[in-house]
Structure 1
Amino acid sequence: MDSNLNGADYGATLLRASLGVMWIAHAMLKWLVFTLPGTAQFFASVGFPGVLAYPVFAFELLGGVALVLGIYARQVSLMLTPVMAGAAWVHFSNGWVHTSAGGGWEYPVFLVAASLVLWLTGDGAFALRRSRFLVPA
């Protein structure tokens, strides 16, 4: 084990892995529960091009895997943020609680915040690939 690692490094690793799992779960919901064509219909019903559902699904799934593995995690978490900000915007009128009809906005807002925290704090321990690109000073 690297003696230069500290509690913050391990904390960032835990955040990175759990956030990655949540992004994967969010993508899989689109595929396994709503289906991708159903997700496309939902996107169209809220004013987004329906075809956008497919790259959003892929981005969430691949981004989640990258986070779990620690592959450019800071950059990936930053790039995923607008996706979930869009979801928060869509669900904002449904209210706070995620169990509200249509889903609430707190879950997507939390994922936005967690993604930004990961971007700010770092990749954590055991990351497979790191970069200084788009990393705050």
Structure 2
Amino acid sequence: MIDDKTAPYAALLLRVTLGVTLLAHGALKVFVFTVPGTVQFFESIGYPGFFAYLVILAELGGGAALLLGAFVRPVAVALIPVLIGATLQHAGNGWLFSAPGGGWEFPAFWTVMLVVQALLGAGALTLRLPVPAAVPAWAR
């Protein structure tokens, strides 16, 4: 049974954790690896270089949206392919993220947590933005 009093705070905790982690990973790509370095890395692993820009935008924009509680369900769903790509990239490195090149368990776990967030919704303390009537109820 779901506790209606604490469930919104559980969703909030998950949302804030996902948002902060996404912002940290986006900032890592911008400030540590640099954008050109991230583009070069993506190209070195066989992805088109412009994917680096999309991933950085997804991590920074998606992280901020989750942190604020704006459009949480569609943002979480939109981020799932990014994390599936990360999981696939790390799949050959083994299970643990401490393996050389990083293992696949962390991005796989992160993917599942985005699914959970999409199913739960925003939870408590969200930014309420006006939503056009054409947006389906599940995405609000």
Give the letter for the 1:21 counterpart.
V
* 2:117 matches 1:118: yes
Aligned partners of 1:96, 1:52: CA distance in 2, in Å? Answer: 25
Q: CA deviation at 1:129?
A: 2.9
Alignment size in residue pairs = 132
Q: CA deviation at 1:77?
A: 0.7
Map of 2:52 onto structure 1: 53
Moved over 4 A (4+): none
Identity of aligned residues (%): 47
Aligned partners of 1:15, 1:52: CA distance in 2, in Å? Answer: 26
Aligned partners of 2:84, 2:117: CA distance in 1, in Å? Answer: 16
* 2:13 matches 1:10: no
Q: Structure 1 length normalisation: TM-score?
A: 0.89
Where in structure 1 are there 5+ consecutive unaligned residues? none
Counterpart contact for 1:81–1:112, Cα < 8 Å: yes
Map of 1:135 onto structure 2: 138
Question: Can you list the C-alpha shifts for 1:26-64, whole angstroms capped at 9, x where unaligned?
Answer: 111111221111111111111110121012101110100
Where in structure 2 are there 5+ consecutive unaligned residues? none
Counterpart contact for 1:21–1:64, Cα < 8 Å: yes
Aligned partners of 1:103, 1:129: CA distance in 2, in Å? Answer: 37
RMSD: 1.7
Aligned partners of 1:76, 1:15: CA distance in 2, in Å? Answer: 14
Q: Is the partner of 1:21 in helix, strand or coil?
A: helix
Map of 2:95 onto structure 1: 96
Question: Can you list the C-alpha shifts for 1:50-89, whole angstroms capped at 9, x where unaligned?
Answer: 1210121011101000000000111101100100100100
Q: CA deviation at 1:21?
A: 0.5
Give the letter for the 2:136 counterpart.
F
Aligned partners of 1:84, 1:107: CA distance in 2, in Å? Answer: 10
Q: Structure 2 length normalisation: TM-score?
A: 0.87
